Amino acid sequence: MRHDGGVPHPSDRPRRPELIESPANPRIQAALGLRTRRDRDRTGLTLVDGAREARRALEAGVALDQAFVCPELATSEDARAALERLRRHHADRLAEISPRANARLAYGDRSDGLVLVVRPRRVELSDVKLRPDPLVVITEDVEKPGNLGAILRSADAVGVDAVVAIGGTDLFNPNVIRASVGTVFGVPLAAASGPAAIDWVNDHGLRLVAARVDAPTLHVEADLRGPVALVLGSEATGLSTTWRGPAVESVRLPMEGVADSLNVSVAAGVLLYEAWRQRRDSA
């Protein structure tokens, strides 16, 4: 509505977001609490740190609870795109914060001026839709969020159908989101028990290929085409006996030095790109 001969009335203009200056503000403190698993489990919320991660979360349609932006710092292309989307679709959930408040809220030395509080969608195995000849990753007891995030990043890069996590870190730990560079919001990610994962694999006709340091077969000698689930174990103990037996093919990566294994996210990347190579060459 316009007043005074077509000149916008002050009440018609876009509302400027609330400015939060103090790091002690209750909303800043509540968001900081989400860096603990207890608060994430209690509220169902988590933090998205950084402009690129925020942009991908918003583009994926994640449920937004609150957005904090420091205009002086939110100057990158990703930050501008995320901020434009926030102003267009979520203006009522957007708060501007001072550099001092941002320094308290942001993780480490992240200085791109954007932090989101979101409610990620929990995916059940029954929700996962597989394409013909799917490629799936199953992780068992991967405790380090950075490793799970890096696995998701590789999974996104090669077009994996889904990642299924058994035990380990909580799936939407902010460090998972950060290490995945926001791809966690694009790759179907489900939590499951070991027996439920095996039943699901069998129901969908997937072949199980497990990474083991003692396997007789090199990963390049295995057939990773067709419906396959790659199984990777924890950083400390590898895979449990759940993933042994005639229905599971085991493969190893070559280790020519003194180390007997690779970081689990590196192993995942090697296996995923070998699967990608084989599938591309057979297309």
Tokens of 241: 């006996």
Tokens of 193: 């028990």
pLDDT of residue 260: 81
**Residue 8 predicted with pLDDT over 80:** no
pLDDT band at 6 (very low <50, low <70, confident <90, very high): low
Place of tokens 């795109």: 81
Place of tokens 């926030």: 86
**Measured CA angle at 231 (ends 206, 127), to 5 deg:** 55
pLDDT of residue 18: 76
Looking only at the bridges linking them, the beta strands covering 114-119 and 46-49 are antiparallel
pLDDT of residue 2: 46
Measured N-to-C along each axis, helices 77-89 and 51-59 cross at an angle, to the nearest 10 degrees, of 40
Tokens of 186: 């694009």
CA distances for 80 relative to 67, 76, 89, 103, 265, angstroms = 14, 6, 14, 19, 31
pLDDT of residue 258: 86
Tokens of 269: 């990347």
The dihedral of CA 253, 256, 259, 262: what is its sign? negative
- Could you report the per-residue pLDDT of 55-103, keeping only the tens digit for each? 999 999 999 999 999 999 999 999 999 999 999 999 999 999 999 999 9
